[in-house]
Amino acid sequence: MESQAETATEHLESSTLEGKNKILGFWLFLAAETVLFACLIGTYLALRGQNMGGPTTQDLFDLGLVAVATGLLLTSSLTSVFAVNALNQKKQKGVQFWLGVTVLLGLAFLILEIYEFVHYTSMGHTFVSSAFGSSFYTLVGTHGAHVTFGLFWITGLIIQVARRGITKETAPKVFVSTLYWHFIDVVWVFIFTLVYLLGKVG
C-alpha cells in the first residue's frame, strides 16, 4: 500500500485526471502520426526509383553523414529520458539541463539535415526534378518539420518549468513532449533504414 502511494507521488505527470487524459490523448495522437508517416514512407518507396535521369539514391546518400545525424538524434532521445528521470525526482534544474541538451542535439541534427538538403539540391536533386525528389523531400522534410516544432515546443517548456517549477500542470507537458521526441526518433530509425540504408545497399 505504501509503495503504491510512493509511486503515485513519483509520477506527478499522471497524478491528475487532466494529466492522465493528456497522456492517453497524446498516445492516440501518436497513433495517428504513425499512419501519417506510414503513408509518406509508402509513397516514397513506390516512387524512389523514379529519378527521371537525375542522381540516384546510390549517387546521393553519404552514410557517414547520416550516421552522425542518427547518432545525434538517438542521443537526444536518451537525454530526454534523463529529463523525465529528473522530473520524477522533482529536480527542476536537472529537467531544465537535460531538456536543454536535448534541444541542442536536436538543433545539431537539424543543421546537418539542412546541409544535406542544400548539398543534394546542388547535385541536381530537387523537390521538382522528379517524383523521387518530391517524395524524398516530403518524407524527410516532414520529419524535419516535426523536429523543428519539437525544438520550439521543448524550448518553450524549459522556460515554463523555469518560471513555474515542476507542478501538476507542467509535469504532464514535459512528459508528453518527451513522448513526442521519442516518436520522432523512432520515425527517424525507419527513415534511416528504408530511405538511406535501402537506398545505398538495397
Residues that bind other proteins (CB under 8 A): 17, 20-21, 24-25, 28-29, 31-33, 35-36, 39-40, 42-43, 46-47, 50-52, 127-128, 130-135, 138, 152, 156, 160, 164, 169, 173
**In this complex, which beta carbon is closest to other proteins, that of residue 42 or of residue 202?**
42
Residues 1 and 23: their CA atoms lie apart, in Å, by 25
Q: How far is the CB of 39 from other proteins (least distance, A)?
A: 4
Residue 34: CB minimum distance to other proteins, A: 8
Give whichever of 67 and 145 is closer to other proteins, judged by the CB atom.
145
Task: Show the cell assigned to 47.
Answer: 516512387
C-alpha cell at 71: 547518432
* Shortest separation between residue 20's beta carbon and other proteins, angstroms: 6
For other proteins, the closer CB: 67 or 123:
123
Closer residue to other proteins (CB): 40 or 66: 40
Q: Which residue number, 2 or 163, has a Cβ lying nearer to other proteins?
A: 163
Least distance between other proteins and beta carbon 118 (Å): 18
Cα torsion 5, 9, 14, 15 to 10°: value is 80
SS (H, E, C) the chain: CHHHHHHHHHCHHHCCHHHHHHHHHHHHHHHHHHHHHHHHHHHHHHHCCCCCCCCCHHHHCCHHHHHHHHHHHHHHHHHHHHHHHHHHCCCHHHHHHHHHHHHHHHHHHHHHHHHHHHHHHHCCCCCCCCHHHHHHHHHHHHHHHHHHHHHHHHHHHHHHHHHHCCCCCHHHHHHHHHHHHHHHHHHHHHHHHHHHHHHHHC
Nearest CB to other proteins, comparing residues 47 and 66: 47
Least distance in angstroms from the C-beta of 116 to other proteins: 19
Q: In the bound complex, what is the minimum distance in angstroms from residue 173's beta carbon to other proteins?
A: 7
